[in-house]
Amino acid sequence: MVGSIVILTGAGVSAESGLGTFRDAGGLWTRYPLEDVATPEGYARDPGLVLEFYSARRENCRTAAPNAAHRALAELEAGWGGELLLVTQNIDDLHERAGSRRLLHMHGELMRCLCAACGHRWPSDAPMQEQDRCPACGAARVRPDVVWFGEYPYHMEEIWASLARADLFVSIGTSGNVYPAAGFVQDAARRGARTLELNLEPSEGVSDFDEARAGPASRLVPEWVAEMLGR
């Protein structure tokens, strides 16, 4: 089969690179109230706390390295004869650093800034402070270019168009808690795609998948990619 593949990844694909997940034991949302650090209201209330939270995640990300799962997905993109799109919920840059190019960050990117005043976006991996100024309009309203709860994810038209054409949808390292990503499996299945979940343990939506494999992404993903590339 050389059809069209859409892959969705979540925090579980970066867990073995040392970046925290959100809802596992000890996950980020067990240590930070997400209302304070991942909502527009939290940013309006205390921008300093939000910038501190994302600056710490930038530092973690800079010191992390892609793992075997990221590398295998880049190999699949390079070796696959059909269409392939990697949609990630993650804001880290480990897929890019592993070599993935056909990649959409539907929840934005940690290593980019957004000006809350004028909408200008720019690459940045430095710590963020409240007094930072937007290079375009000069306002001190800098935030990370990430999608917070209550905000609309990026690239949705392109993602839905790819799901409509997919022959295979694979979900890797996500708990299936957050929409619209959690609904992609149904969107793809409705249009006739086969669906596969690769996750440490069965996700909330596991019953929506034709097949589910449980285990660490660093083992499951290279095994699956080897199957796909006929190795």
Could you list the active site residues? 107
Interface residue with ligand APR among 4, 7, 10, 17 (CB under 6 A) is: 10
In the complex, least distance from residue 33 CB atom to ligand APR, rounded to whole angstroms: 12
Cβ pair 206, 221 in contact under 8 A: no
Within residues 22-81, the interface with ligand APR by CB under 6 A covers 22-24, 27
Beta strand 194-199 with 108-115 is unpaired
Candidate ranges 43-51, 124-132, 195-203, 205-213; the one touching ligand APR (CB under 6 A)? 195-203
Non-local (6+) Cβ contacts of 170 within 8 A are: 5, 6, 7, 8, 195, 196, 197, 198, 224
Interface residue with ligand APR among 159, 174, 196, 205 (CB under 6 A) is: 174
Cβ pair 60, 93 in contact under 8 A: no
Task: Look at residues 169, 229, 231 and name the one whose alpha carbon lies nearest to residue 205.
Answer: 169
Q: Does 201 bind ligand APR (CB under 6 A)?
A: yes
Residue nearest to ligand APR (CB): 12
For ligand APR, which is the closer residue by CB, 4 or 88? 88
In the complex, least distance from residue 212 CB atom to ligand APR, rounded to whole angstroms: 11
Residue 215 has phi, psi (to 5 degrees) of 155, 175
For ligand APR, which is the closer residue by CB, 113 or 146? 146
Q: Does 217 bind ligand APR (CB under 6 A)?
A: yes
Interface with ligand APR (CB under 6 A): 10-12, 15-16, 21-24, 27, 89, 107, 173-175, 177-178, 199-201, 203, 216-217
